[in-house]
Amino acid sequence: MEAAIAVGYWSGYRGWAPSTVDWCERNYEICSWIAEFWNSVSSLAIVAVGLGGALASHRYGRGELRFVIAYAAITLVGIGSTLFHMTMLRPMQALDELPMIYAAQTMLFCILENDTRLPKYGKKLPLALSVHAIVVTALVSLTDGDLQFYTFQVSFGSLELGTLFLTALSASREHDQRARQLYIKGFMAYIIALACWMSDIQFCETLRKMIPMNPQLHAWWHVLVSCGLYTLTVAGQHARQRVLVAEEKDHEATIEVLCHFIPVAKIKERQ
């Protein structure tokens, strides 16, 4: 990992420090006022997934707010990521990283409370996640340099891996063929996205020597992780909606495809 040197339009803006991490895309190469152009533009995919998912959950769900809140948190991640890559400044980095923590916590809550109509863990789970959020927010905000980078990566990575593990368990128990396909596609996109992220940060100089044009792997991370996260979340929503309508004879949970490629979990009347 190399330290960020944001020499350009935003350098020294309001006396703010540069970010503690820099990515393989060269700063201000495309645009004089956007530090990392492709990483900024690709972050809008996260915003689109968050907004689209929140609207679909509100329209086709059963009034539960948990997935709407989860998608809203993803939207904040996308906004923070856009601002971070535009400026490469430390405050904007926090606006990217902290919502990632909160979004992962919300997803973890959704998975842990997905299988029963009434809360399985009562108030204990929200309280534990809230305390964790406060502690991690303080650690990520008050540390700097490599310590800050690894504090965030460990905090977010543990949440991410835990959530993915529980999602994989749900996928292994899934009998609905449509939902199983979503899990497979979601995990494939997520794994490829992680490979792009790791390659960009670990092998940047090697890639620059081997490939004449930057493959923009961090930008592909944004796009692919958005697709994977959305697809996995829709599969989880479908499982949740089956629980909600299990005792109803006139409604069913289904997965529909909008515009030929956007899956949506939906509760509808039986035909």
Domain residue extents for the chain: 13-269
Mean pLDDT of the chain: 90
CATH topology for 13-269 is Rhopdopsin 7-helix transmembrane proteins (1.20.1070)
Q: Does 10 show up as a binding residue in the annotation? A: no
**Residue 251 annotated in ligand binding:** no
Per-residue pLDDT tens digits for 37-51 = 999 999 999 999 999
Residue 15 DSSP label? G
Q: For residue 250, say whether it is annotated as part of any ligand binding site.
A: no
25 annotated as belonging to a binding site for a ligand: yes
- 85-136 pLDDT per residue, tens: 999 988 899 999 999 999 999 999 999 999 988 889 989 999 999 999 999 9
Distance between CA atoms of 168 and 3, rounded to whole angstroms? 35
Residue 3: which of 185, 171, 144 has the closest Cα? Answer: 144
Say if residue 97 carries a ligand binding annotation: no
In this structure, is the dihedral angle defined by the CA atoms of residues 194, 236, 184 and 182, taken in order, positive or negative?
negative
pLDDT in tens, 82-96: 999 999 988 899 999
pTM: 0.89
